[in-house]
Amino acid sequence: EVQFVESGGGLVQAGGSLRLSCAASGFTYDDYSIGWFRQAPGKEREGVSCIGSRDRRTYYADSVKGRFTISSDNAKNTVYLQMDGLKPEDTAAYYCAADRVCGYYAGVYYFGLVGYDYDYRGQGTQVTVSS
């Protein structure tokens, strides 16, 4: 059984930093890409960042490029999201997820298919950025 457990969320002032962690179990990195998406009340889901399953390249949404860094420690089965320069608009529940869709398709970045749930996902951790 695949399980993701996120941690590291919290309340931070604008300009601050947080590091999210996702402990994965029962998961095979070769079959799926892994990454983070976020969901804020009243807003559409956004695939924040992902690591490609085959090329191991990292991909980012334009809204976080240059501020967030995704990384993984395969020995620990853990994926991280370092978030620097946080803004109030980054406030959301952040979820660790796995999916076969990660990267650029016809020049557009995707993590997961629009309108479809991720193949696997955790329970989420809340990030709140105050102004």
pLDDT digits (tens, 9 = 90+) for 1-59: 889 999 999 999 999 999 999 999 987 778 899 999 999 999 999 999 999 998 899 99
- Are 20 and 6 in contact by the 8 Å Cβ rule? The answer is yes
The tokens 């102004």 sit on which residue? 131
Mean pLDDT for 69-95 is 96
Q: How far, in Å, CA of 60 to CA of 111, rounded? A: 9
